Amino acid sequence: MGVSGASGTPYAAAVIRGLLAAGEDIDLVVSRASRLTILDENGHPFRDAHAESDLRRWLARGADGRPDAFDVDPARVRHWSPGDLSAGPASGSYQVKGMLVVPASTACVAGVALGLSKDLLQRAADVMLKERRPLVMAVRETPLNGHTLRHLVTLDEAGAVVLPASPAFYAGARHIQDLVDFVAGRVLDAVDVPHTLYRRWEGELGRGSSGPMP
């Protein structure tokens, strides 16, 4: 799981909660720039030296600031510093099922498309492509310039799933967290991780205004 410096840290929190709820263990890389978005969007820092407690505090609230009644088992989240290029995920021989980059900044999209590996997050994503393992890039920017559009095509052609952090309204969202959970659920769908984060479309018009998932 990579968290880069685009807006959208609630998406990352929802995906991490979803992975843990599904019984998946996580290797986590939080880019340098995303420390700014985590601070800005959640009101508290994420520090390598305090990763365990900062992660717990980050995951404990939803996008609307309400408590999310979720406790992280620290033993199930392995945090790696983004500058640590000797970390496990920097190598193809390190066993992971795939990688989710949520949110993915345009800088991260460019770096992975060009194979820059400027930090552990980008290197781990590059490893996914070379090893032909699943890579999901939840890009968050608007509007998009031509460079980013071309980089996204490059990623698609390299086998990544390009998944814009773009909530839909057919699932009957009532609160910010419902929209966040929709995107998080689509990310988990891309790697077949089971969840109940949003109400799926079942071919019935008119339910988009009938309230969130049961």
Ligand X SMILES: Cc1cc2nc3c(=O)[nH]c(=O)nc-3n(C[C@H](O)[C@H](O)[C@H](O)COP(=O)(O)O)c2cc1C
Binding site for ligand X (CB under 6 A): 4-7, 31, 33-34, 36-37, 40, 105-108, 140-141
Alpha helices in the chain (DSSP H): 9-21, 34-42, 51-59, 106-114, 120-130, 146-157, 176-190
Nearer to ligand X, 101 or 190 (CB): 101
**Closest-approach residue to ligand X (CB):** 5
Cβ 37 to ligand X, closest distance in Å?
5
Whichever of 31 and 177 has its CB closer to ligand X, that residue is: 31
Cα-based distances in Å from 48 to 27, 126, 194, 197, 209: 14, 23, 30, 29, 42
Rounded CA-CA distance 124/68 in Å is: 30
d(CA 42, CA 86): 30
Q: Minimum distance from CB of 12 to ligand X (Å)?
A: 11
What backbone phi and psi angles, to 5 degrees, belong to 160?
-75, 155
Dist CA 32 CA 56 (whole Å): 19
Nearer to ligand X, 143 or 206 (CB): 143
- Please say which residue, 12 or 173, places its beta carbon nearer to ligand X: 12
**Residue 5, SS3 per DSSP:** coil
CB of 165 to ligand X, least distance (A): 9
As measured in angstroms, the least distance from the Cβ of 80 to ligand X is 14
For the four alpha carbons of 160, 133, 11 and 172, in that order, the dihedral sign comes to: positive
- The nearer residue to ligand X, 37 or 177, going by C-beta atoms, is 37
What is the C-alpha to C-alpha distance for residues 80 and 90, in angstroms, rounded to an integer?
A: 10
Q: Least distance from C-beta 84 to ligand X, angstroms?
A: 14
